[in-house]
Amino acid sequence: MTTPLVEINQISRTYRMRTGLFGRTTSVHAVDGLSFSIVKGETLGIVGESGSGKSTTGRMVLGLEPPDAGTVRFDGAPIAAPGTAAWRAQRARMQMIFQDPLGALDRRLPVAEQIREPLDIHDIGTKDERDARVRELLLSVDLNDSHGRRYPGALSGGQRQRIVLARALATRPDFLVCDEPVSALDVSIQAQVVNLLVDLQARLGLTMLFISHDLRVIRQISSKVAVMYLGRIVEYGDADDLFAKPQHPYTQALVSASPAPGRRSIGRIVLTGDPPNPAARPSGCAFHPRCRHASARCAIEVPALAALDAQRQVACHLVTGSQSHTQDAA
Amino acid sequence: MAPLVSISGLKVAFNGTPVLHGIDLDIDKGEAVGLVGESGSGKSVTWLAALGLLPAKAKVAGSATLDGRELIGADGKVLDQVRGRRIAMIFQDPASALNPVLTIRRQLCESLALHRGLRGEAARIEALRLLDLVGIPDANRRLSAYPHEFSGGQVQRIMIAIALAGQPHLLIADEPTTALDATIQAQILDLLAAVRREFNMAMVLISHDLGVVAENCDRVCVMYAGRIVERAPATRLFDDPWHPYAQGLIGALPPLDGARRRLQAIPGTVPDPRALPSGCAFAPRCSFAGDGCHAGVPLLAPIVQDRAVACLRPQRLPVELAAE
């Protein structure tokens, strides 16, 4: 089981943005030469702050947005051209859930109808089979028929997100992209949905791309984690190991900025400088203006994502192979 | 020492639906108190009610005093002396709290004129000092900028500067970092701590994020369905929560290190304020609930000197008490 289900090779996405009515256009490199693959049955977590390009990545992986350069391959085949029969067949195998379940649901339709819709669209099963499947899906997300008859407005935030999840699972997808699926939920409800996702993944053998700004949630759900900063992966590795021993100065700052109950902030790394702005990407390593270890080289040369050991890849001039200059900051 | 702010029996009802069921809370001079709880638990309403900021349809009862002076039902003139001056407030969404068509200078100077009577050059100099204080680089030039020219973290810094303009004794920070990225959140929390030290200012930090509250407060109150269910020093609460809801909240938080464990999700959802269960509002979701829990509402009762819990079956009792 080490065949990748999803292979991303050097994808980039640039948006054009105009400053003011008559201003000149500037290019915003939302995603810049990103490569990764996700093994079947595994979850890749992408963590990063706003503007890091994590949502754009999710959309390109699903083919909702074409990459300007690079390729996305799903189960060995490139993403088919949108609108074709091949594309529809492929799309039934990959689904997504977003942060705002109310925005993803039709307020004027009972939720069971909405779970049923993908079955109708992809013409799966007879009428009775579809009814049974909807019931089964509701049960799989710990809801029942009476919830199915309600409208989205009559459900709580956590229940709505379960409905969205049930609908995404209707076509028995192999691959699920979750973009901040629990960020809008309260802690206790968030835990319910995270547990549900973990259970469903184990039971259905789902492959997932899980996008979040929340390190804790990412660690809980992912097997591998990619840390993004301004459109590039700066660190990649095994989830537990990466958060236990972050190597890139940015990952170290992120981990140390994550508040923990029970310990006061001792030696927290507080980054100075402006937050990342994709429209004004610094030269060299994009993180260098905020990095306390930055040297002259960092401002000029873009560091490549290189293997540190068998598990870890880091894009930093200061972190190389055996010796690690930033270790002391951990 | 008399507390700076003393709230007792504070109740709020919207259109006849009670949402706050009697809050008792004292804030001492210079101390940082955290309020945690999920949406709808009444964290923000408590302070909006105390400062007379709720719409007229809200019925407020009980008492909230500042240095012994009653605020509930107080005259507008009295409240004007308090709001922004003695007690300032900052909110989750700083961008919507600023006027987009006025420069930062205008908005800062408005606050300075209102609360400190500063005008002209004196106000400009003070505005400059405040922007410097909150860490806005190149403050002199940035004074004439508009809110949209600043990033989210910088706008929150400006809101803090405006809040500090009245030299308040108490700052109510209502989810001040929720809309910000992790590294920027760390910066803002750092700034708030520095400002508190410098002015010996008390702070109420309202947050749904247990970690944020734990790290930045002396005392914490956990709220659920319009009541305080547990009150404890921050460090003790997180090491050893007593109320099953507080335990649930902490158990629901995914760990960032150590072994992965299944999250202890609290079953069910927060009750609708229009249909609160009889007895303890948490009982239907509580795995320790017994018959007594559904019969009557448990009151917030002191257990040891600085800890109180509103639970008939708090999960750590006499044995541990003896050890303390």
Task: Report yes or no: B263 at the A interface, CB cutoff 8 Å.
Answer: yes
- Rounded Cα distance between A75 and A67, Å, is 18
Residues 6+ positions from B48 with CB-CB distance below 8 Å: B54
Residue with tokens 């390593």: A285
The residues, any chain, with a CB within 8 Å of residue B252's CB and separated by 6 or more, are A187, A188, A190, A191, B263, B264, B265, B266
The reply to whether residue B187 touches residue A271, judged by beta carbons under 8 angstroms, is yes
Q: Which residues of A touch B153 (CB under 8 A)?
A: 275
Alpha carbons A246 and A137: distance in angstroms, whole number:
39
pLDDT at A264: 53
Q: How far is CA A306 from CA A7, A127, A256, A295, in A?
A: 18, 53, 23, 19
Give burial (CB, 10 Å; 0-12/13-18/19+) of B3: middle
> Of B146, B155, B189, B253, which to mutate for an interface test with A (greatest number of A Cβ within 10 Å)?
B253
Average pLDDT over chain A reads 88
Q: What is the interface size between A and B, counted as CB pairs within 8 Å? A: 128
Contacts of residue A258 in chain B, CB cutoff 8 Å? Answer: 182, 211, 256
Q: CB distance from B183 to chain A under 8 Å?
A: yes
Q: How far apart are CA B270 and CA B249, in angstroms?
A: 12
* B positions 47-76 inside 8 Å of A (CB): none
Cα separation of B152 and B159, whole Å?
11
Residue A21 confidence (pLDDT): 67
CA distances from A51 to A112, A161, A230, A276, B172 (A): 35, 24, 6, 7, 30
Over 70: is that where the pLDDT of A328 sits? no
Are B221 and B41 spatial neighbours (Cβ–Cβ below 8 Å)?
no
Nearest chain B CA: its distance from A264 CA (Å)? 5
What integer pLDDT is reported at residue A266 of this predicted model? 59
- CA triple A18-A277-B93, angle to 5 deg: 95
Q: Binning pLDDT at 50, 70 and 90, where does residue B318 land?
A: very low
pLDDT at residue B153 above 50? yes
User: Is B270 at the interface with chain A, CB within 8 A?
Assistant: yes
Please state, in angstroms and rounded to a whole number, the distance separating the CA atoms of residues B243 and B285: 12
Distances (CA, A) of B29 to B3, B102, B202: 7, 34, 6
Measure Cα distances from A59 to A62, A66, A69, A281 in Å. 5, 9, 14, 22
Residue of A nearest to B238 (CA): A262
Write out chain A residues lying below 8 Å of B235, CB-based.
262, 264
Query: With contact defined as beta carbons under 8 Å apart, do B234 and B34 qualify?
Result: yes
**Which are the contacts of B205, defined by CB distance < 8 A and separation ≥ 6?**
B32, B33, B34, B35, B173, B176, B192, B212, B213, B216, B217
**Residue A314: pLDDT over 90:** yes
| Interval A64-93 mean pLDDT | 88
Secondary structure (DSSP) of A213-225: S-HHHHHHH-SEE
Q: Please, are residues B15 and B57 in contact by the beta-carbon 8 Å criterion? A: yes
Would the CB atoms of B185 and A257 count as touching at under 8 Å?
A: yes
Nearest to A188 among B189, B249, B256 (CB): B249
Q: Are strands B69-70 and B227-233 parallel, antiparallel or unpaired?
A: unpaired
Whether the per-residue pLDDT at A322 is higher than 60: the answer is no
Nearest CB among A188, A263, A265 relative to B248 is that of A188
CA distance B146 to B104: 6
Q: Is B264 on the interface with A (CB under 8 A)?
A: yes
Inter-CA distances, A102 with A106, A162, A201, B69, B276, Å: 8, 11, 23, 45, 25
User: Residue A30: phi, psi to the nearest 5?
Assistant: -70, -45
Residue of A nearest to B182 (CA): A257
Would you say A114 and A150 are in contact if contact means Cβ atoms under 8 Å apart? no
Distance in angstroms (rounded) separating the CA atoms of residues B57 and A188: 31
Rg value, chain B, Cα: 21
Helices (H) and strands (E) in chain A, counts: 12, 12
- Chain centroid to Cα A60, Å, comes to 11
pLDDT tens by residue, B206-264: 998 888 898 899 999 999 999 999 999 998 888 889 999 999 988 888 888 888 888 98
Over pLDDT 70: what percentage of chain B? 97
Alpha carbon distance B163, B145 (integer Å):
19
| Closest chain A residue by Cα to residue B186 | A257
Shortest distance, CA B111 to any CA of chain A (angstroms) = 26
ipTM of the shown complex: 0.82
The tokens of A244 are what? 């236990």
Q: Percentage of chain A with pLDDT > 90?
A: 59
Give the one of A156, A256, A261 whose C-beta lies nearest to B250's C-beta: A261
Contact state of A187 with B184 under an 8 Å Cβ cutoff:
no
Q: Give the integer Cα–Cα distance in Å for B204 and B27.
A: 8
Residues of B in contact with A194 (CB under 8 A): 254, 263, 265
Strand-pair category, A313-314 with A306-307: antiparallel
Residue A262 pLDDT class (50, 70, 90 cuts): low
Q: How far is B253 from chain A (nearest CA, A)?
A: 7
How much of chain A is helix, strand and coil, in % rounded to 5? 35, 25, 40
Whole-number Å distance between alpha carbons of B118 and B110: 9
The percentage of chain A sitting over the pLDDT mark of 70, rounded to a whole number, equals 93
- What contacts B259, CB < 8 A, 6 or more positions away? none
Q: Do residues B38 and A187 make contact, with C-beta atoms less than 8 angstroms apart?
A: yes
- pLDDT, position A1: 52
A220 to B254: CB separation less than 8 angstroms, yes or no: yes
Q: Render pLDDT for B98-136 as a digit per residue (tens, 0 to 9).
A: 999 999 999 999 999 999 999 999 999 999 999 988 988
| Minimal CA separation from B140 to chain A, in Å | 18
Mean pLDDT of all residues in A69-95: 88
pLDDT of residue A71: 92
Paired strand residues for A15: A28
Q: Which domains does chain B have, with CATH numbers?
A: 5-217 (3.40.50.300), 224-323 (no CATH)
Q: What SS3 class is residue A191?
A: helix
Of the candidates A191, A143, A192, the residue with the CA atom closest to the CA atom of residue A166:
A143
- DSSP assignment of A153-186 equals GGS-HHHHHHHHHHHHHTT--SEEEEESTTTTS-
pLDDT of residue A249: 94
DSSP state of B276: P
Average pLDDT over residues B135-147: 89
B214 touches chain A (CB under 8 A): yes
Nearest beta carbon to residue A260 from set B211, B264, B265: B211
Give dist(CA B220, CA B36) in Å, integer: 7
Residues A241 and A67 sit within 8 Å (Cβ to Cβ): no
Tell me, what's the pLDDT at B316?
61
In this predicted structure, the answer to whether residue B16 has a pLDDT above a threshold of 80 is: yes
Element (H, E) at A7: strand A4-18
> In the block, which residue shows the tokens 């979850």?
A43
Q: What is the DSSP letter of A324?
A: B
Q: Do A257 and B256 touch (CB under 8 A)?
A: no
Interchain contact, B235 vs A216, CB within 8 Å: no
Residues in chain B within 8 Å Cβ distance of A261: 210-211, 213-215, 238, 250, 253
Please tell me the total number of residues recorded for chain A in this structure: 330
Per-residue b or e along A179-209, where b marks 16 or more CB atoms closer than 10 Å to that residue's CB: bbbbebbbbbbbbbbbbbbbebbeeeebbbb
Which stretch of A45-49, B209-213, B316-320 has the lowest confidence by average pLDDT?
B316-320
Q: What are phi and psi of A68, to 5 degrees?
A: -70, -30
pLDDT recorded at residue A267 = 66
Centroid of chain to Cα A151 = 28
Tens of pLDDT along A122-153? 888 899 999 999 999 999 999 999 999 999 99
Q: In Å, what is the CA distance from A2 to each residue of A37, A61, A310, B97?
A: 11, 19, 15, 51
Cβ burial of B315 (10 Å; 0-12, 13-18, 19+) is middle
Cα A42 to Cα A45: distance, rounded to the nearest angstrom: 10
